[in-house]
A and B are shown apart, each in its own frame.
Chain A
């Protein structure tokens, strides 16, 4: 006898797709007959009107099984990487740090590296996005195709099974079992390859008919447990509708991804759930292959793009770095350096205009150099041409001068005048030539260690006759017996001689004090006179060449007007300071400070500029502060304002005049009215 079979409606297109994934049912049941959901693929021709799963659900499935595979891969790779990192962290950390630092340095310093790296990064990330999208689409399509096939096949097979069951005329147990098993085995398909697997299970919670001999049946290795509970529930709760879900099932030793499509069949009055499971392994393999191809292609493409970026940037950057190199060489004085110009593009134009610039620079510099050489040559020639006749004149004048006692008074006086003025002319010429040598930049420092105290003594001996003439006494205060300092003694001698002669000239017969002192880095010589001092207005100009405070005043002294200028230049050549202090009625103080060793800079002079003896008296307004500071000393501003921290106590006076000169100007005789 045959129990009434609840017949489904397999031919009915009504079907629902269920989205099942690991966390549960997320996509609500959607009836494919709803026109609202457009089909995501061509309609299945075998089952006309059969709907297709909506694309979000399909997408989720694709993502799900792809994710699963990637998670597996990632886990393996992750473990390996973690192990490597563990080893590396202990052994290679300094190396990695160095690598990172050098990459960072390279990043900062090389435009090419930066461009190539950026291009590579961008290319890789865009490949990743495109690759992910493509791979997703392909996976989705593959899945959809398989799903559509699975659904139509299921519908067909379920109908076959139901038809077979409906037409069965078996009543005894063995034939029923045989029938059911044969029917179900037929579902697996013909041939050696299993086309689909099945799980056949009696629906629970129904009255068990007497002739129910088959409870459940499944393909090899399968049990009802491979069917997701959500799918079962959907199938159980529905009428004769078909549902599907992704699942995994064991084949041999491995788990394979698959689609389980469920429906109900009735046999002998018992409702059974029939699930057909379709293997997705081939699709997965195809997908893997496609992904591998994509990955390899992407990698190759990224490398190619990197290479292209490298080549292109090299083409652009190498002329630029070449230009940088060439301009460095140009700046270093290799004026003949030029860029290599190839072609007619922008880079070639850059090269051409760069070369043009270099050429015109070279031309101008050469021109200037030639001019300067001509100037020097001229000075040198003038020197020779003037000196030879001057020597003759001077000798003749001296012969006449020596014989003056034999002349009458007029001739005698003439001989004296001639002699004196030739002398003056000669010193003027000598100073002029010296200044012109400084201006031409040909003066060189010939520094050797020497004792400056000894040099000061020499100068004092040398000027003793002049001092006697002025009636001044020169005193030396040098606590240290000898101070060795790097100096060009010819120049220092000239500076000191100028300072002392200047002091004698303006000292009005009062004593002139010379002090010498040293600290760790510098030595100072101060020449102090007690003459009439200087007014602020004079102070500003006292260092100009040939400048005189009172032009009307007779030029009785032998100075050329260039002595202090030359002293300043000589000091500058030594990287020293030459500074002057003066006050009306209190005389003046000139201080020369030199570094003990050439190449060092002076930070503090061992002697103070303002003499202690003038301290705080003297009316403001009569005080003058003069500065001649050839070296760009950091204390400059301070000194202009008044006194440096080492310059002793000074009364702040509004009329203090301070001037700093770059050391190119000066005067040999400062005159005070």
Chain B
């Protein structure tokens, strides 16, 4: 089955070009040129992944991202012309899983898309624990006691990666490779922002984390 990808971009030429590249690589693109209609198109098309331009007419990309994230865990990859800290961080904080800065290479775009579409591996029944949080890997469930914690697939992958090797300190680069699928060094802000998002969901007190610990100057590790 072809994965369906929603491309939200107002630039028709670029959208068409992205469509050509995606079709070439065996995906099924769906287009939307207006931020205001993005959510409707998303609901009707039920895509497996969303490629979202940050600057859109109508509603801006960040708002669209927030709306989609509010009702779905579908991976969102931002296309951004501004690689400035504030914009990227704002986009990631609004729920995007990854971003591709313009101008990008077709291979880069496809690699990002594939990385996020990666089928949830071969998930054997496995239960992991960090601090007082229980993770059911196969069932994609995270809970503290009886309380269910809802995580996006990316956040879940991040938590599982840490939980599987509680003795290891993960550098940001290592996490980028394992969770995001980057081969080469990329923007470590991705890790920072998503760790923060993850903490805001699973930590009792995000200011004093117990589940995802920071190892200063190195990276992150699972709490005990």
Interface residues of A (CB under 8 A from B): 380, 383-384, 387-396, 398-399, 426, 437, 444, 446, 448-451, 458, 462, 484, 489-490, 493
Contact = CB atoms under 8 A, between A and B. Distances in A.
Contacts of B55: 384
A388 B105 CA distance: 12
A395 B106 CA distance: 6
Contacts of A393: 103
Contacts of B131: none
Interface in B84-106: 84-85, 102-106
Given A383-B81, A451-B217, A399 B102 contact: no
By CB atoms of chain B within 10 A, which of A387, A450, A484, A489 has the most? A387
Contact of B217 (A387, A390, A396, A449): A449
Contacts of A384: 55, 81-82
B217 A391 contact: no
A325 to B, nearest CB: 36
A484 B20 CA distance: 46
Given A395-B18, A399-B24, A380 B217 contact: no
Given A399-B20, A458-B185, A387 B85 contact: no
Given A394-B105, A395-B18, A493 B185 contact: yes
A448 B191 CA distance: 14
Contact of B17 (A380, A395, A489, A490): A395
A396 B85 contact: no
B218 to A, nearest CB: 8
B173 A458 contact: yes
Contacts of B185: 458, 462, 493
B14 A388 contact: yes
Nearest to B217: A449
A451 B217 CA distance: 7
B188 A380 contact: no
A446 B84 CA distance: 12
Contact of A399 (B13, B21, B84, B218): B21
B13 A489 contact: no
Nearest to A458: B185
Contact of B105 (A380, A398, A446, A451): A398
A391 B187 CA distance: 20
A469 B174 CA distance: 28
Secondary structure call for the A interface: helix
A458 B172 CA distance: 13
Contacts of B177: none
Interface in B103-132: 103-107, 109
A17 B104 CA distance: 123
B8 to A, nearest CB: 14
A395 B102 CA distance: 11
A387 B81 contact: yes
A390 B102 CA distance: 8
A395 B188 CA distance: 25
B14 A391 contact: yes
B222 to A, nearest CB: 21
Contacts of B173: 458
Nearest to A493: B185
Contacts of A392: 11, 13-14, 17
A431 to B, nearest CB: 13
Nearest to A484: B217
A245 to B, nearest CB: 99
B2 interface: no
Contacts of B84: 437
Interface in B169-200: 173, 184-185, 187-188
A388 B217 contact: no
B9 to A, nearest CB: 8
A447 to B, nearest CB: 12
Nearest to A442: B84
Given A450-B217, A484-B217, A489-B188, A388 B17 contact: no
B17 A396 contact: yes
Nearest to A394: B103
Task: List 7 A-B pairs, minimum CB-CB distance, nearest first.
Answer: A449-B217, A391-B103, A384-B81, A387-B102, A387-B81, A390-B103, A391-B102
Contacts of B11: 388-389, 392
Contacts of B81: 383-384, 387-388
A126 B147 CA distance: 90
Nearest to B101: A387
Contact of B106 (A383, A399, A444, A449): A399
Nearest to A388: B11
Given A383-B81, A426-B103, A462-B184, A389 B13 contact: yes
A398 B13 CA distance: 15
Contacts of A426: 103
Given A388-B11, A389-B14, A392-B11, 20 more contacts: A384-B55, A384-B81, A391-B14, A391-B17, A391-B104, A392-B13, A392-B17, A393-B103, A394-B103, A394-B104, A395-B18, A395-B104, A395-B106, A396-B17, A399-B21, A437-B84, A444-B85, A448-B217, A458-B173, A462-B184
Contacts of B216: 449
9 contacts: A384-B82, A387-B102, A392-B17, A395-B18, A395-B104, A426-B103, A446-B85, A450-B217, A490-B187
Nearest to A402: B106
A518 B84 CA distance: 31
A563 B17 CA distance: 31
Contacts of A490: 187-188
Interface string B49-78: 000000100000000000000000000000
A391 B51 CA distance: 14
Contact of A395 (B82, B85, B105, B184): B105
